[in-house]
């Protein structure tokens, strides 16, 4: 659902993040509540699935990304943060590292 794409300068790949789930119509909730990660040499794909995970071990629903443009004393330019809903109860922010690209 609602994919987001960022460019990773160190790998020179486009990285796509998306909410990955299995929804059954007869049940009123999501089951997997995970983030999928796929990469491509081009912004429009094709993308290859690389990883499925729950950031910080927390279930993830709607998500967005923030890629830092200009560094300062706390973050470096290019750092990426994943902001997401945790079970529609709270918001979680995770700094993504190279294992997530």
C-alpha–C-alpha distance, residues 74 and 15, integer Å:
23
Q: What is the pLDDT of residues 27-86, one digit of tens each?
A: 656 778 899 999 999 999 999 999 999 988 998 888 999 888 776 666 666 788 899 999
For 1-19, what is the mean pLDDT? 87
Residue 22: per-residue pLDDT: 75
Three-point CA angle 60, 30, 17, nearest 5°: 40
Q: Looking at residue 1, what is its pLDDT?
A: 67
Start-to-end C-alpha separation, the chain: 19
The candidate with the shortest Cα–Cα distance to 4, out of 86, 83, 85, 78, is 83
> Which two structure tokens, joined as six digits, stand for 64?
């967005």
pLDDT value, residue 37: 94
Stronger pLDDT, 21 or 50, i.e. the higher one: 50
Give Cα separations from 80 to 9, 10, 28, 71, 99 (angstroms): 12, 13, 32, 12, 12
């Amino acid at each position: 659902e609602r994919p987001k794409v960022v460019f990773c300068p160190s790998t020179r790949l486009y990285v796509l993040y998306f909410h990955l789930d299995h929804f059954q119509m007869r049940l009123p909730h999501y089951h997997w509540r995970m983030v999928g990660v796929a990469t491509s040499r081009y912004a429009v794909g094709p993308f290859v699935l690389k990883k499925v995970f729950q950031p910080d071990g927390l279930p993830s629903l709607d998500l967005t990304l923030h890629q830092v443009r200009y560094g300062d004393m706390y973050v470096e330019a290019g750092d990426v943060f994943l902001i997401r809903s945790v079970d529609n109860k709270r918001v979680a922010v995770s700094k993504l590292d190279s294992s997530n690209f």
